[in-house]
Each structure stands twice: as C-alpha cells, then as structure tokens.
Amino acid sequence: MDEREHGESYCPAPATPAGRVEGPPYADCLECGKPTEYGVATPGVVLCPVCEWQDAQRTACSG
C-alpha cells in the first residue's frame, strides 16, 4: 500500500524545533549567529528564518 494513498506527503516535512519557546530573549541561529524567532530555552537546533528556508531547500525532494 502506498503512503500517498493515506494523504501523507511522499517527502517528510523539515523538522521544526519541538517545544518552541517564545522570546525574548531570542536564541542565536546555529548557522549564521543571527537572532531567531525562538526563545533561548527552545530545545533542539534553532535556525533563523533565512537558514531554515535554505535548509529546507537543501533537504527537499527533487522530483
């Protein structure tokens, strides 16, 4: 049975930080060091909007 028949996307969505914490203070992006939209207590990898978009472009399915 194909996953797409169940309404799920063929490619998984990029991961977002679980348990997002609102700021301020805001966490710094792990890629470029600019402020993110996530509070400093947000667990996991946090990226600024630009780096999140670039990461999603790199990991997106082609085809």
User: For residue 15, what pLDDT is reported?
Assistant: 58
User: For residue 20, what pLDDT is reported?
Assistant: 72
- On the question of pLDDT at 26 being above 50, the answer is yes
Close Cβ partners of 55 (under 8 Å, ≥ 6 residues apart): 14, 31, 47
Prediction pTM value: 0.59
